[in-house]
Structure 1
Amino acid sequence: MTVAASASRAAEVLSRPVALNGLTVPNRIAMAPMTRAFSPNGIPGADVASYYSRRAAAGVGLIVTEGTYVGHDSAGQSDTIPRFHGEEQLAGWAKVAADVHAAGGTIVPQLWHIGMVREQGQPPYADAPAVGPSGLRIGADEVTGKAMTQRDLDDVIGAFAEAAAAAERIGFDGVELHGAHGYLIDQFLWAGTNRRTDAYGGDPVARAKFAEEIVAAVRATVSPEFPIIFRYSQWKQEAYRARLAETPEELESILAPLAAAGVDAFHASTRRYWFPEFDGSDLNLAGWTKKLTGKPVITVGSVGLDGDFLKGFQGEGAPVKGIDDLLDRLEAEEFDMIAVGRALLQDPEWAAKVLADRFDELKPYDAAALATLS
């Protein structure tokens, strides 16, 4: 089908509200979290508020912010990536949330700890070590960081809970926990970086214990109706073919404890949403997640574009791709929402154009947009 063939039903399919616990999102379009570095001293300013509210005003139902560092010294490695702790930082985020609401959207911060990805000596806390389940970087057998002690685990769990409580206090609509792409929570989930022999390592259920405890701590800190979204992936930034689970049964053993601990929705990150996840089924990772947990699920991965998003960071563009198959899957209730990344980065009006059947106005992705992020 042509791109225009989607126009007759795109608005109908995508405009339906969806409930994530106590939050009603006005439509099925989310903005995917995309790392930025425009927050000096970790403080999001007026330009950040404009960046998100502009897309909310153009029809994005749910904004998932860029990753924001939780209040643990080892959580990040940049002084221009925003933080979700500190008086000035939270004041900046309160303004962002207020502006998105004024534009008609809903918004959740993505709470983030990068773990062993951290390079020691980097800001905002230069003396902080890289920490992880076993002190291992992805693809390395040599210990180069600190294997986390129980106190370290408790401190990080507390930092996530405190950030979630702050999000609710300053007016956000929920939180997303970043458990994907080889960062700290994912380092526990994946056998390649988790070599622990205590209760936090071993089989998939044990490897999920740290994530489960973060979810439970957040759930206990926020209101019962406050949504908790959990983002996860099979692939890692430095290991694209990595897999947490080779079978649906293995995946269920990881996701079921998280759902039981309080996750209200999952955000299943793939590089291309149209790829099936396991042999013998056309379901993608989001589809399997919904089937196994019964929870609402957001799918993501090159929505609206034909090409892998990772190539964008290598300076490559991508042509527009039709979304008829995506609409088919939504109508079949394989998943509940779509998260749009590069297409929204390229064009803040993407949602408005799609919802108004203006498919002929969509533009191919230009990697130069990464330099502006306006």
Structure 2
Amino acid sequence: MPSLQDELVIKGMRMRNRLALPPLTTNYGTDEGYVTDNIIRFYEKRSRDVGLVIVEATSVRPDGRLVKGSLGLWEDAQVEGMRRLAHTIKNNGSAAVVQLNHAGARCYPTGGKLQGASPSGFAFNPQVQPLVMNQEHIDEMVYDFACAAARAQEAGFDGVEVHGAHFYLISQFLSPLTNQRSDSYGGNARARARFAVQVVKAIKDKLGEDFPVLFRINALENVEGGQSLDDSIAVSKLLAEAGVDILDVSVISQATWKEIDGRRYLLPASAFPKDQPAGANIPPTAKIREAVGLPVIGVGKLGQGTVAAESVNKSLIDMAAVGRQMIADPDTAGRLLAGMPEQITPCHERMSCFASIRKGEPLQCKVNKDLP
């Protein structure tokens, strides 16, 4: 029976235990996408005990940033700072992976050739005009993901994670709600996954089969017309064939439409912590694991009690990602591994972290006022 304390080795990437720090938006980067001392401090504190750190969404292009202070790997000059970050994480004994992303039509409005990139023109932000991508745009984006992955490897990261969840660009292609194309990139699950598969294959072609590639995917989208669990399983099988090594499984638990000046905007979100029990995302994650046969990372209030340990013990997931709880208490992982969850300073679930990012501010926490 596997335990939280067991190591996991994937394509030579050794994770000393089954706890992961998931990608958490901090907004601590510079306006130009560079690493700062606050970034280093944040990850140094949270890489001391986990087996894997997945660095927050890092943009492959300047026009694809999630927030103003997003990290970037769109130019060679950014490698030096990312090398410092990778070294900090690995020096603490954790494997270091960086999440690569283009936010698409959910991007922070900075301008640029592919600002608002979108499969079908769905809008998420009144400040960003969606740009329906043509084949040239798609080819350019695939190339940019591969180049960013190469920079991540040069910086010393053990692997990369492709962000295909949360209605950012790749997720917009995967979802039948936001992908209504009539060409070879739209239609059934295989066609909607074509862009994602091309990104994964481009990274593998550039860096080799032995460089680990993770993929973050929505297990399901609880919105009418959204991605179903069956869709996600079908896509995950295609991603496995393309070379994905680990699936990092999330859930879109709610999405609403808002009308502004006569136009409708989609506002997706994960469930607020108070609205779901610990481990609520584990059942669909386990179904993907069983159907696809790849290792999976589960997420969703797994820093509470024994939920993480039990989920790994039962082979429902291979790794447990603990996010907001690690913001509140950076020592959470060590205490879970020691079997002392009662000593954890709990997240109060007030969502001040979420609110600070939405307001365009650096990450804040009502419990841990000593951030980063």
What interval of TM-score do these two structures reach, taking the shorter chain for normalisation? Answer: 0.7 to 0.9
**Deviation string, structure 1 residues 330-353 (Cα, Å, up to 9, x no partner):** 122121000100110101111111
One of 261, 274, 289 as aligned partner of 2:242: 261
The alignment status of 1:274 with 2:274, answered yes or no, reads no
Q: Which residue of 1 aligns with 2:51?
A: 61
CA distance in 1, matches of 2:209, 2:38: 33
The alignment status of 1:111 with 2:116, answered yes or no, reads no
The alignment status of 1:296 with 2:295, answered yes or no, reads yes
CA distance in 1, matches of 2:5, 2:55: 21
Q: Which residue of 2 aligns with 1:37?
A: 27
CA 1:354–1:91 in structure 2 vs 1: closer, same or farther (change >3 Å)? same
The alignment status of 1:91 with 2:80, answered yes or no, reads yes
Q: Which of 74-83 and 330-339 deviates more?
A: 74-83
Give the 3-state SS of the residue equivalent to 2:165 in structure 1.
strand
CA 1:165–1:37 in structure 2 vs 1: closer, same or farther (change >3 Å)? same
CA distance in 1, matches of 2:54, 2:66: 21
CA distance in 2, matches of 1:240, 1:26: 37
Q: Which of 62-71 and 37-46 deviates more?
A: 37-46
**Conserved 8 A contact 2:23-2:56:** yes
Q: Which residue of 2 aligns with 1:355?
A: 337
**Deviation string, structure 1 residues 4-38 (Cα, Å, up to 9, x no partner):** xxxxx9xx821100122221111000001111111
Q: Which amino acid aligns with 2:283?
A: N
The alignment status of 1:102 with 2:91, answered yes or no, reads yes
CA distance in 2, matches of 1:107, 1:31: 10
Report the count of equivalent residues: 330
Give the 3-state SS of the residue equivalent to 1:181 in structure 2.
coil
**Conserved 8 A contact 2:220-2:229:** no
**Conserved 8 A contact 2:279-2:299:** no
**Conserved 8 A contact 2:60-2:73:** yes
Give the 3-state SS of the residue equivalent to 1:210 in structure 2.
helix
Q: Report the CA distance between 1:234 and its aligned residue.
A: 4.2
TM-score normalized with structure 2 length: 0.82
CA distance in 1, matches of 2:28, 2:190: 38
**Conserved 8 A contact 2:10-2:212:** yes
One of 141, 164, 189 as aligned partner of 2:149: 164
CA 1:175–1:242 in structure 2 vs 1: closer, same or farther (change >3 Å)? farther
TM-score normalized with structure 1 length: 0.82
**Conserved 8 A contact 1:181-1:235:** no
**Deviation string, structure 1 residues 257-304 (Cα, Å, up to 9, x no partner):** 11100100100013566337xxxxxx6122112111111100001212
CA distance in 2, matches of 1:91, 1:241: 44
CA distance in 2, matches of 1:176, 1:33: 9
CA 1:303–1:371 in structure 2 vs 1: closer, same or farther (change >3 Å)? same
Report the structure, 1 or 2, having the larger strand content.
2
CA distance in 1, matches of 2:6, 2:212: 19
Q: Which residue of 2 aligns with 1:50?
A: 41
**Deviation string, structure 1 residues 293-332 (Cα, Å, up to 9, x no partner):** 111100001212xxxxxxxxxxxxxxxx322x44233122
One of 304, 308, 330 as aligned partner of 2:312: 330
The alignment status of 1:219 with 2:200, answered yes or no, reads no
The percentage of counterpart residues that share the same residue type is 31
CA distance in 1, matches of 2:316, 2:9: 16
Q: Which amino acid aligns with 2:38?
A: D
Uncovered stretches (5+) of structure 1, i.e. residues with no partner = 1-8, 277-282, 305-320
CA distance in 2, matches of 1:223, 1:233: 26
Q: Which amino acid aligns with 2:39?
A: V
CA distance in 2, matches of 1:221, 1:168: 11
Q: Which of 43-52 and 344-353 deviates more?
A: 43-52
The alignment status of 1:19 with 2:19, answered yes or no, reads no
Q: Report the CA distance between 1:150 and its aligned residue.
A: 0.4
CA distance in 1, matches of 2:229, 2:239: 18
Q: Which amino acid aligns with 1:265?
A: I
**Conserved 8 A contact 2:117-2:133:** yes
CA distance in 2, matches of 1:361, 1:51: 21
**Conserved 8 A contact 1:235-1:242:** no
**Conserved 8 A contact 1:138-1:182:** no
